[in-house]
């Protein structure tokens, strides 16, 4: 029996920059998905999850379209591995996860990377973590049909305790940077709106299309090549130009955030988070009035900064908060949700935790 785990993630800053070959700064979360794999000589893999009823049988020769629902992420990994010429055995795969689904915490990448890690370990396959991230992404893009970037898989695979990951998606390079707000009197809060989202829907793909059109209008390979927002006047469509402006300014904010954290300048770091939220609200238009209200209540009560995290249209807002203001910020956010007639949020303090690996207990 092989037991492999992979964590959920939150992105501190750098949203929708991954497929534009820019920068992002995620952390891996303490919440994780564990895949326990008992290989057999069957040509069927039977998967179960504590988060869903019933078992799903996946034929090892599975093709996109054969399996849907949660098990499609596992089937996609089986398919992507075999497409790349790696053998996968049948048997039983039991999944146990405490990464909430649809909350923008990358439950899907945690599942992909846990299953993939179990198959790699069981088959003693030689695949480095960048190759694993690309295979898991291929499973999600081509099997599940969600046109997502590499952010979530790299976060799950490269996460480390007390470290954020500065990812450069053009180079596909991951650099650890110290991230331990508690050591400087601050707390990272995750405020879950419980408004579910999904990326196989049309809005995510529409944002991606806008960015690709803008890059074409500018004659660049990706929006990563653009650093000066003035050149965006040459983008034909006004909406595409605004989408592109989010990407260009967000890339700069990621690098500025890393510099601010290096100097323990939480005020500057927080201001960049709040600016990122405004850019997602006004230029990229992926927030919701509920998420805006959460972020505003947090900053109005003394958070250094707050922003939605993840793909958008629901999920979580994160806030960097002076530790002695955690109670006040939480109460203000809860009150704002009550006043707005929204469901009560779940607010928790979190930290940067380890990435994927063998389960040791």
Would you tell me which residues interact with ligand GLA (CB under 6 A)?
A: 11, 15-16, 18-19, 106, 148-149, 151-152, 199, 310-311
**Least distance to ligand GLA, CB of residue 106, Å:** 6
- Quick one: 199 or 277, whose CB is closer to ligand GLA? 199
The span from the CA of 335 to the CA of 329, in Å, is: 10
Dihedral pair phi/psi, residue 145, rounded to 5°? 90, 25
3-state secondary structure (DSSP) of residue 163: strand
Q: 301: annotated binding-site residue?
A: no
Q: 204: annotated binding-site residue?
A: yes
**Least distance to ligand GLA, CB of residue 26, Å:** 9
Q: 278: annotated binding-site residue?
A: no
Query: Up-side HSE of residue 170: CA atoms within 13 Å toward CB?
Result: 11
CB atoms within 10 A of CB 210: 22
**Least distance to ligand GLA, CB of residue 354, Å:** 20
Q: Which of 42, 68, 152, 265 is catalytic?
A: 152
Residue 128 is a catalytic residue: no
The span from the CA of 166 to the CA of 261, in Å, is: 12
- Quick one: 16 or 253, whose CB is closer to ligand GLA? 16
Are 300 and 332 in contact by the 8 Å Cβ rule? The answer is yes
Q: 97: annotated binding-site residue?
A: no
Dihedral pair phi/psi, residue 349, rounded to 5°? -85, 140
DSSP 58-119: EETT--TTS--STHHHHHHHHHHHHHTT----EEEEEEEE-SPTTSSS-HHHHHHHHHHHHH
Round to the nearest angstrom and report the end-to-end CA distance of the chain. 13
The span from the CA of 177 to the CA of 161, in Å, is: 11
The span from the CA of 132 to the CA of 151, in Å, is: 13
CB atoms within 10 A of CB 130: 16
Are 257 and 270 in contact by the 8 Å Cβ rule? The answer is no
Q: Do strands 90-97 and 44-49 pair parallel, antiparallel, or not at all (unpaired)?
A: parallel
Q: 212: annotated binding-site residue?
A: no
- Quick one: 18 or 240, whose CB is closer to ligand GLA? 18
- Quick one: 5 or 152, whose CB is closer to ligand GLA? 152
Q: 18: annotated binding-site residue?
A: yes
**Least distance to ligand GLA, CB of residue 52, Å:** 20
**Least distance to ligand GLA, CB of residue 125, Å:** 24
- Quick one: 89 or 208, whose CB is closer to ligand GLA? 208
- Quick one: 90 or 159, whose CB is closer to ligand GLA? 159
Q: 305: annotated binding-site residue?
A: no
**Least distance to ligand GLA, CB of residue 276, Å:** 11
Q: 108: annotated binding-site residue?
A: yes
Query: Up-side HSE of residue 169: CA atoms within 13 Å toward CB?
Result: 30
- Where in the sequence numbering do the catalytic residues fall? 152
Binding-site sequence positions for Mg(2+): 108, 140
Binding-site sequence positions for substrate: 15-18, 204
Binding-site sequence positions: 15-18, 49, 102-108, 140, 204
């Amino acid at each position: 029996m092989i037991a492999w785990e992979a964590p959920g993630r939150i992105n501190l800053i750098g949203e929708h920059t991954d497929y534009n070959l820019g920068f992002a700064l995620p952390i891996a979360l303490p919440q994780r998905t564990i895949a326990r794999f008992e290989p057999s000589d069957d040509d069927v893999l039977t998967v179960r999850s504590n988060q869903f009823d019933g078992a799903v049988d996946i034929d090892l020769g599975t093709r996109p379209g054969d399996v849907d629902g949660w098990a499609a992420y596992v089937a996609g990994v089986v398919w992507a591995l075999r497409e790349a010429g790696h053998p996968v055995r049948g048997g039983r795969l039991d999944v146990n996860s405490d990464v909430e689904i649809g909350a923008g915490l990358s439950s899907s990448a945690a599942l992909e990377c846990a299953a993939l890690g179990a198959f790699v370990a069981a088959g003693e396959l030689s695949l480095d973590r960048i190759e694993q991230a690309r295979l898991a992404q291929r499973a999600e893009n081509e099997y599940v049909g969600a046109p997502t970037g590499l952010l979530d898989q790299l976060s799950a695979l490269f996460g480390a305790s007390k470290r954020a990951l500065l990812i450069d998606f053009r180079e596909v390079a991951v650099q650890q940077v110290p991230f331990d707000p508690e050591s400087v009197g601050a707390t990272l809060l995750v405020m879950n709106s419980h408004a579910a989202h999904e990326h196989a829907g049309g809005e995510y793909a529409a944002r991606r299309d806008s960015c690709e059109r803008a890059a074409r209008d500018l004659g660049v390979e990706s929006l990563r090549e653009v650093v000066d927002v003035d050149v965006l006047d040459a983008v034909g469509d006004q909406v595409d130009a605004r989408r592109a402006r989010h990407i260009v300014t967000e890339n700069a904010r990621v690098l500025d955030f890393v510099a601010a954290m290096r100097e323990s300048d939480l005020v500057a770091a927080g201001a960049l988070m709040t600016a990122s939220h405004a850019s997602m609200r006004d230029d990229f238009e992926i927030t919701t009035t509920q998420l805006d209200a959460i972020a505003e209540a947090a900053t109005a009560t003394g958070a250094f900064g707050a922003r939605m995290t993840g793909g958008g249209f629901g999920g979580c807002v994160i806030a960097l908060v002076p530790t002695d203001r955690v109670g006040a910020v939480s109460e203000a956010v809860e009150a704002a949700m009550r006043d707005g007639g929204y469901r009560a949020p779940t607010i928790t303090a979190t930290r940067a935790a380890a990435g994927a690996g063998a389960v040791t207990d």
